[in-house]
Amino acid sequence: MAAVEPIGGAPVTPSRRRRGRRAPVRSWRPRDQAIFVLSWIAGTGLCLCAAALVIFFIVQGAHYLRPALLVTRPSPAVNQALSGGILDPIEGTLLLGVIGLLIAAPLGVITAIWVVEYGRPRWLSRIVESAVEVIAGTPDIVLAIFGLALFELGVFAPFSFAEPGGAFGRSFLNAGIIVSAVAIPSIYTATRNGLLATPRQLREASYALGKTRVATIRRVVMPAVRRDVATGATLGLGRIYGDTAIVVLLLGATLRNQPENNVPLIGLLRGTGSTLTSFIYDSSPAGDGNAPNKAYAAAAVLLLMVLLLNWGVGRIGRIGGPPIHEERRLGA
């Protein structure tokens, strides 16, 4: 039973945190010492790796990245000075992210709601859970070749354009549909965990006011997991930005974004294009372009975008105070 807190009393001023004496590491058992040292090595080693990565690309970026590159379209040229900028790959990355997220976010969220809030029949919800795991575990190159086989079927000609014996199969729309699969698992998992962490009492409170289950989910449960959804979506977006295989196989990885016809947006969606990842691949010594300077510049931009997203995930977690499940744990 908690003691009653004294009322009044001297105001407590914050002071420097004092630590009591602790047993020195030297007095620990050898095995504990070894684990202690190993964890320090592992931790600092990871920090060094991350720092090396970021510093390398900051240096390369500062070296090769010019503002003009960001607003110039790439051109086919052997001479790096004439091969243009990376405007199209940047646009392609952003567009693919939007398409992928527009498909993945509703699917992931709705699936999570169904599994957690309804989940009947049990066997079906277990199958759904396994299905998400299968998608999460499938290598993106496998997803890509499956997507290509699918979208080359004649019925999908409107998604790209018709070819003798079927469809071309490569377009922003097709790549966006398949790339959404790499974002769904993180959105699903974040939403599901948020739903599971939302206290049952919150739902009961709503039912006890005479609300239906749908009203409860819409008005009470969803606001409680909004942040989890945002976190999952941001993580999923990072996965889409980083994907290469699907872009190469399903977007065509053309140098420029080439609308299929002159209809605004629709033409773009049905046309081929590139993203930063495919551009980096093509420009690197391994690709056809052989423009490593451009590859470094594009890699610096891509890394910056992903780091911004990660920073965004951390920010989302702090909007408007701790999430409801944490607040409850603290016994607000």
Partner 1 sequence: MSIGKLDFEAELMAIAPERINPPVRHERAVATTVERLRVEAVSVFYGDKAAVKDVSLSIHQGEVLALIGPSGCGKTTLLRTLNRLTELTPSASHSGRILLDGEDTHELVDTELRRRVSMVFQQPNPFPMSIFDNVGFALREQSRKRPHRRQLEPQVDRALQRAGLYEEVHADLDRSALRLSGGQQQRLCIARAIAQQPEILLMDEPCSALDPRSTAVIEDLIVQLRQDLAIVIVTHNLQQARRIADRVAFMYLGDLVELGETEQVFTDPREERTREYVAGAFG
Interface ranges with partner 1 (CB under 8 A) = 1-4, 199, 201-202, 204-212, 214-215, 218-220, 223-224, 320-321, 324, 327, 331-332
Nearer to partner 1, 67 or 210 (CB): 210
Cβ closest to partner 1, residue 3 vs residue 10: 3
DSSP per position, 194-263: HHHHS-HHHHHHHHHTT--HHHHIIIIIHHHHHHHHHHHHHHHHHHHHH--HHIIIIIBT-SS-B-SSSS
d(CA 59, CA 67): 15
Residue 63 or 219 with smaller CB distance to partner 1: 219
Nearest to 60 by CA among 303, 278, 290: 303
Q: Which residues contact 28 (CB under 8 A, 6 or more apart)?
A: 36
Is residue 190 within 8 Å of residue 292, measured between CB atoms? Answer: no
Supply the minimum distance, in Å, between the C-beta of residue 200 and partner 1.
Answer: 9
Nearer CB in complex with partner 1: 17/120: 120
Other beta carbons less than 10 A from residue 312's beta carbon: 16
Nearer to partner 1, 43 or 223 (CB): 223
Cβ atoms within 10 A of the Cβ of 126, count? 12
